[in-house]
Chain A
Amino acid sequence: MTDTVQTPEAKAAYDARWARVMDCVQLRRPDRMPIGMQPTFWLAKYGGMTCRELMYDYERTAAVAERAILEFEPDCHSPMFLASASGRALEAMDFKQLQWPGHGVGDNQPFQYLDREYMKADEYDEFLEDPTGFYFRKYLPRVAGVFEGLDELPTLPGMYYTRLVMGSRAFAKPAVRQALERMVTAGEEAERLFNRHMAFENKMTALGYPASYMFSSISPYDYIADYFRGAKQIMTDLFRRKDKLHQMLEKVRIIITRTTIEAVKASGNPFVFIPTHWAPDSFMSDQQFMTFWWPPFRQMLLDLIAADIIPIPMWESDCTKRLEHIADIPAGKCIYWFERTDMVKAFEVLGDVVALRGNLSPSMMTTGQPHEVDAAVKHLVDNVFNKGGSLILDCAFGIPDETPVENVRAMFDAARKYGG
């Protein structure tokens, strides 16, 4: 690979695309409606590859992703190489929270998350007292094989002065030594993946195409629900362990916010993508939402905004009943991406607060005809963008994996035909 030099024309194109998106963020009228592109396994369909090949073949995946960006010329694109090509790194980690092609699902199926109880009900206190210790001894060995053995580490803050000398014997234990060696090997593969991702994004920048974001984050509630307690357990915790849940929400809010700010600053791209999982109308009552879900996330958004970061919460499913609540943030600082929430309704409530992104329906994109895609884009342009809405057109949650290529072409064509 050689570095691609950015031509003046490519720089102008990059700047125009970037300005288009930033105009939306700042609630100014862009020269035309920007279009976002966020494929994952759709790239396999587009490139004539299996999902497994997409996850493992760095060079073919990078080539297909580049071809997609050059054909569709999106105003912003997701870090699609990184999102797709993680197979080798997952394998090197012996990662247990996902099943992916060749590891639990077929060669032509997307990866899928395994909802499990990764932190047990009686372990809240252990996490709260010493999150890092809990990670070493309990959490990490449960989520990836390379960490097995770290459970033999002592409580590190219990070592001091000369205790540190004898305490270091723990690192020579066979199980710990093996874990450390495997972690190094896994880290090297992750580094290769990251470097290839950066080379891809640097090339896209040189060719004139900005990334939508370079880092993803999570709400405090979803962090606990999805990756620690599991779906069934978190719902019962709302009744059985309210106080512990509140304490953990506060603890992880601080941790997530700090790490998000550090990572986003290091990436050089001010946006952060935050897919949400447990906010939808049907998942909890308004009172539960306003007690557990929204307050820590709102504080996180405020802290990110204060650090000059532009959050892109992706409001999964239908969040219509939440619109009035989530409007309570500073204006012109976020992009709210909606999946199933009616975009016209979202515009009515949030039009003077945030930019909007989305939300062509997955069922229409995957089973519909190009003329139906055209009509759906026109509907959003007529009822949101042309009425002053700061809309970034996109699919509901990225391009669904099974979407016919002609429907994606219809989406981009229609956006340019109707959106200026």
Chain B
Amino acid sequence: MALDDSALVAAIADMDEDVALELARGALNDGCEPQHILDLCRAAMDIVGARFEQGEYFLPELMMAGEMLEQIGAMVKPLMLAGEADAAASAGPVVMIGTVHGDLHDIGKNIVTFMLEVNGFKVVDLGIDVPVKTFIDKIKEHQPVVVGLSGFLTLAFDSMKETVDAIAAAGLRDSLKIMIGGGQVDETVRAYTGADAFGLNAMAAVSLCQEWLGRAKAA
């Protein structure tokens, strides 16, 4: 039976996990193109993102959407040609993200990473408690267009400032934008650290990246 595209999109967007997984599994068993399933997931995430921005959805819905996409992704990947999977993984501009040194918190960073990825950005996640030098080395290696610095504790203010200063000292500042977020971050902290912008939530991070890249949506 042919997949009802709108039903799968609606199931994901409406947080109906069981139906979403059943529809995706059934469609793949019936020979549906894996890429088509991924496209529908993307369409569903557009709705989830819009509902988040409108204040209808919150973190739990983002987390559930992530869970559904992860499971559908696990079904799809074995069916894709190796080249397709690699192409999909390497597509899009690079955003580098990490929790600054001294801070071990990762929940906010992980949610931002997820939302950036579903919006078409390739995210290089450096993890938590990331030393300044690691940021510099990885920026040189991956050449990101945006660097996101995450931190929950107040000690992160100084760690963010050190990281931004080091990026500038390495001559890399003009080639990228820096956004910060998490915990107590506000305009005062943005000014203190020298970052280009701060965001209060994951969709703000997506919007900043889209704005800086001059487009409504990433590829």
Contact = CB atoms under 8 A, between A and B. Distances in A.
Contacts of A282: 58-59, 200-201
Contact of B102 (A105, A285, A340): A105
Nearest to A281: B58
B117 interface: no
Nearest to B110: A232
A285 B192 contact: no
B58 A288 contact: yes
B211 interface: no
B60 interface: yes
Interface residues on B, range: 20 to 34
B57 to A, nearest CB: 7
Contacts of A238: 60, 64
A114 interface: yes
Interface stretch (A76-84, A198-206, A324-332, A364-372): A364-372
Given A235-B60, A235-B63, A115 B107 contact: yes
A34 interface: no
Interface in B180-202: 184-186, 188-189, 192, 200-201
B60 A361 contact: no
Interface residues of A, number: 33
A231 B59 CA distance: 10
B157 to A, nearest CB: 6
B104 A363 contact: no
B67 interface: yes
Given A231-B107, A367-B189, A109 B102 contact: yes
B145 interface: no
A367 B155 contact: no
Interface string B141-167: 000000000000111011000000000
B155 A284 contact: no
Contacts of B106: 115
A361 B184 contact: yes
Interface string A213-242: 000000000000000000110011011100
B15 A402 contact: no
A364 B188 contact: yes
A315 to B, nearest CB: 15
Contacts of B201: 282
B154 A366 contact: yes
B86 interface: no
B105 interface: yes
Contacts of B57: 285
Given A235-B64, A236-B63, A402-B154, A363 B192 contact: yes
A366 B157 contact: yes
A367 B188 contact: yes
B188 A401 contact: no
Given A232-B107, A239-B15, A282-B58, A363 B155 contact: no
A151 to B, nearest CB: 28
Contacts of B56: 285
A105 B63 contact: no
Contacts of A104: 104
8 contacts: A232-B110, A235-B59, A238-B60, A239-B64, A282-B58, A283-B58, A340-B184, A400-B184
Which 9 A-B pairs give the minimum distances between C-beta atoms?
A363-B188, A235-B60, A235-B63, A400-B154, A367-B192, A362-B184, A363-B189, A238-B60, A231-B107
